[in-house]
């Protein structure tokens, strides 16, 4: 990297909140910057020196004139170049934390802004790392980043996952590819909470597995000993496999994705619990209604849907969807059983999600105690200045 005096400069408008950025907020929106002909001509992913309105340097940012988030803060120490050594330091710090938490190398290694790498997500599956470079600057510096990742962690395979709306918003491609090593020929077995999950690291949703729910899987499993469990939006069997491994009597996994349910079946076989798992493929709302029509009852019911409110524009519709899920699920819970409702929508904050869930439970003819609120695991740290990093909520009700 060139010294800061020789790299392009981008400057805040006088109205921009420089104090928030100096205190750790990592994003600068396009309407907070001077976007003249010179800055608009910069290529997406260019490293630039950010200055406040008085031309005082604030740090090195990854700049993208085509994105609503035009600048992402990378480094406030202007003496540190953004090079291989910089990446190695970031990865070493992230790895030290995860190594304390988990005895086996299966976890989220890098959680974007919270680990100092804005827009970058890396999940580790033993000797395999799946990286999502969701910001233009990280795509531009992908090669030195991958080299540093291999050196620090010792992984032998690195897969770039290019799915998801974040890359589209940055003007990036959607081509998934192997950057190091070879694509595994079969799903990767992942030990977690006493069960074995199967992760499709090349063609599954996101990176192939959702590590963020690990502590919520574990808490639900403590409630499920000897219980009948319903796991709606189960993906590869997240809650149901953990519950069965903990001694649940039976589990029904519901998902709209047949490939995901096949992975759940494979995980159940690997865990030795396949005789107690039933799979139901189809729309979750339809399946909930059908189960109610069948008179089904479960001691533990879990609903872990995709983000119904991925942004502010979809918030009200998303809250109605969360309310509807709770209304349909509540009648399926046996007396004194448990209902677990999850949201991964950062736009729906905890209080509004909790209120929508409570309304749905009431409309479903039930009353409940809120016994526990869960969040993402500690390998998904939150950045206090960035509400979006605290996206996951799990509400545990006793009805």
Residue of 33, 242, 301, 344 with catalytic role: 344
Pick from 369, 362, 366: which is nearest to 395 by CA?
A: 369
Q: What's the average model confidence in pLDDT over 269-277?
A: 98
pLDDT number for residue 203: 80
pLDDT number for residue 396: 98
Q: Is 344 a catalytic residue?
A: yes
pLDDT number for residue 138: 97
Is the model's pLDDT at 88 over the cut of 80? yes
Cα 389 to chain centroid, rounded: 9
Domains of the chain, CATH where assigned: 4-75 (2.30.130.10), 84-180 (3.30.750.80), 188-398 (3.40.50.150)
pLDDT per position as a tens digit, 131-150: 999 999 999 999 999 999 99
Q: What percent of the chain has pLDDT over 90?
A: 91
Determine the Cα angle at 188 with ends 183 and 189, to 5°.
165
What is the C-alpha separation between 188 and 209, in angstroms, rounded? Answer: 10
Is the model's pLDDT at 75 over the cut of 60? yes
Please, what is the average pLDDT of the chain?
Answer: 95
Is the model's pLDDT at 105 over the cut of 90? yes
pLDDT number for residue 192: 97
Q: What's the average model confidence in pLDDT over 209-230?
A: 97
pLDDT per position as a tens digit, 45-73: 999 999 999 999 999 999 999 999 999 99
Is the model's pLDDT at 1 over the cut of 70? no
Is the model's pLDDT at 354 over the cut of 80? yes
Q: What is the 3-state secondary structure (H, E, C) of the chain?
A: CCCHHHCCEEEECCCCCHHHHHCCCCEEEHHHECCCHHHHCCCCCEEEEEECCCCCEEEEEEECCCCCEEEEEEECCCCCCCCHHHHHHHHHHHHHHHHHHCCCCEEEEEEHHHHCCCCEEEEEECCEEEEEECCHHHHHCHHHHHHHHHHHHCCCEEEECCCCHHHHHCCCCCCCEEEECCCCCCCEEEEECCEEEEECCCCCCCCCCCHHHHHHHHHHHHHCCCCEEEEECCCCCHHHHHHHHCCCCEEEEEECCHHHHHHHHHHHHHHCCHHHEEEEECCHHHHHHHHHHCCCCEEEEEECCCCCCCCHHHHHHHHHHHHHHHHHHHHHEEEEEEEEEEECCCCCCHHHHHHHHHHHHHHCCCCCEEEEEECCCCCCCCCCCCHHHHCCEEEEEEC
Is the model's pLDDT at 94 over the cut of 50? yes
Q: Which two tokens stand for residue 290?
A: 């059908």
Q: What's the average model confidence in pLDDT over 28-47?
A: 95
pLDDT number for residue 2: 46
Q: What's the average model confidence in pLDDT over 303-310?
A: 92
Global model pTM greater than 0.85: yes
pLDDT per position as a tens digit, 318-352: 999 999 999 999 999 999 999 999 999 989 999 99
Q: What's the average model confidence in pLDDT over 301-314?
A: 92
Confidence of residue 5 (pLDDT cuts 50, 70, 90): low
Q: Tokens 């081509």 correspond to what residue?
A: 175
Is the model's pLDDT at 356 over the cut of 60? yes
């Amino acid at each position: 990297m060139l010294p800061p005096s020789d790299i392009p400069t981008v400057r805040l408008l006088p109205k921009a909140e420089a104090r928030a950025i100096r205190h750790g907020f990592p994003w600068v929106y396009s309407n907070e910057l001077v976007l003249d002909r010179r800055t608009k001509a910069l290529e997406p992913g260019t490293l630039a020196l950010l200055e406040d309105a008085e031309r005082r340097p604030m740090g090195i940012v990854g700049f993208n004139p085509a994105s609503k988030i035009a600048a992402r803060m990378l480094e406030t120490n202007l003496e540190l170049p953004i090079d291989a050594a910089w990446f190695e330091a970031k990865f070493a710090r992230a790895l030290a934390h995860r190594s304390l938490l988990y005895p086996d190398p299966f976890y989220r290694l890098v959680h974007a802004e919270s680990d100092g790498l804005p827009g970058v997500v890396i999940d580790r599956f033993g000797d395999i790392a799946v990286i999502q470079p969701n910001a233009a600057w990280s795509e531009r510096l992908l090669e030195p980043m991958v080299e540093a990742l291999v050196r620090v962690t010792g992984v032998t395979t690195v897969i770039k996952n290019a799915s998801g709306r974040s890359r589209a918003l940055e003007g990036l491609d959607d081509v998934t590819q192997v950057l190091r090593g070879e694509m595994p020929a079969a799903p990767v077995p992942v030990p977690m909470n006493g069960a074995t999950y199967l992760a499709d690291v090349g063609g599954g949703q996101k990176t192939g597995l959702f590590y963020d729910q690990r502590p919520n899987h574990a808490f639900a499993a403590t409630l499920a000993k000897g219980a009948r469990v319903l796991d709606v939006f189960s993906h590869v069997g997240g809650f149901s496999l953990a519950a069965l491994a903990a001694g649940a009597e039976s589990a029904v996994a519901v998902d709209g994705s047949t490939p995901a349910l096949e992975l759940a079946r494979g995980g159940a076989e690997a865990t030795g619990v396949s005789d107690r798992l039933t799979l139901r493929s189809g729309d979750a709302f339809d399946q909930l209604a059908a189960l109610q029509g069948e008179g089904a009852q479960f001691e533990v019911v879990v609903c872990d849907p995709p983000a119904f409110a991925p942004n502010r524009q979809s918030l009200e519709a998303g809250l109605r969807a969360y309310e509807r899920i709770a209304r349909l699920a509540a009648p399926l819970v046996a007396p004194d059983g448990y209902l677990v409702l999850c949201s991964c929508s950062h736009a729906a904050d905890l209080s509004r999600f909790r209120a929508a869930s409570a309304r749905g439970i009431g409309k479903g003819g039930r009353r409940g105690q809120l016994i526990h609120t869960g969040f993402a695991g500690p390998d998904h740290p939150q950045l206090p200045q960035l509400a979006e990093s605290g996206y996951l909520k799990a509400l545990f009700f006793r009805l």
